[in-house]
Amino acid sequence: MPVSKADLVIRGGPIFQSLQSLSVDALAVGSGRVLAGGSDADIEPLVGPSTRVVELRGRSAMPGFNDAHQHLLSIGRAMMQVNLRPDAVATLDELLAAVEAGVAQTPAGGWVIGGGYDHYRLDVKRHPLRQELDRVSPDNPVFIKRTCGHMGVANSRALALAGVDESTPDPPGGHIDKSGGRPTGLLQERAQELTLSIVPPVSRDALVQALERAGHHMLSRGVTSVMDAAVG
């Protein structure tokens, strides 16, 4: 009886199998299932003319990870926003330039949302101020979220649309940062909802695109399945 040929063979390096049997040197896959694992000699008969062979050249391979608590939609939407993570912006000027670039790609009056900044890792060691965001976006409302997700900064236009001014009290579970009685733009915890609640809803197509981008991002990191915490 002829031996079925593999669709994919991985060989040339340690391939993690389990804690009991640790690793094998080669692995054959066919029709989406593992056909066999063993030495190069064991797997060689499964290599056919149409088999894709991946040579590890001493590198290790292991099964894809499962992330048991993830927020795919949040990740995807963040990837579609202005990237303010420390690996992208190291100074306040770079942060403002990134926001300004986001404004240039947004229709007049449209919201500009950014995320991922860490004020401890900025050169100024503080949160941006609303007046600084105003300089690069006087007309478009802006909200940038800190990397932790528990706070963010709004520009004056966003605060005005949200009805936040000197007389606005802290909402339950939130804090509006003020200096000299005037909002600095920093909104903590539930106070962020004052602005985020009035951001127009994202279209269905944009949500699908966000999920796809998050999925590709996960796959690029070796995560092949996730449990979305918002779904269960």
Nearest to 209 by CA among 76, 104, 119, 89: 76
pLDDT at residue 231, as a whole number: 76
**Angle at alpha carbon of residue 10, lines to 2 and 53, rounded to 5°:** 70
What type of residue is 150? Answer: H
Write out the chain's pLDDT in tens, 232 residues: 556 899 999 999 999 987 777 899 999 999 999 999 999 999 999 999 999 999 999 999 998 999 999 999 989 998 999 999 999 999 999 999 999 999 999 999 999 999 999 999 999 999 999 999 999 999 999 999 999 999 999 999 999 999 999 999 999 999 999 999 999 999 999 999 999 999 999 899 999 999 999 999 999 999 999 998 877 5
Helix (H, G, I), strand (E, B) or coil at 32: coil
pLDDT at residue 2, as a whole number: 59
Strand pairing partners for 52? 8
Residue with tokens 């062979």: 53
Burial group, residue 74, by CB count within 10 angstroms (0-12, 13-18, 19+)? middle
pLDDT at residue 3, as a whole number: 67
Instruction: List domains and CATH numbers for the chain.
Output: 8-63 (2.30.40.10), 72-196 (3.10.310.70)
Element (H, E) at 216: helix 204-220
Burial group, residue 18, by CB count within 10 angstroms (0-12, 13-18, 19+)? exposed
Q: H helices within 66-114, ranges in order?
A: 72-79, 92-104
pLDDT at residue 232, as a whole number: 54
Strand pairing partners for 154? 143
C-alpha to C-alpha distance for 140 and 112, rounded to whole angstroms: 7
Element (H, E) at 154: strand 151-154
CA dihedral for 133, 137, 142, 147, sign (positive or negative): negative
pTM comes to: 0.72
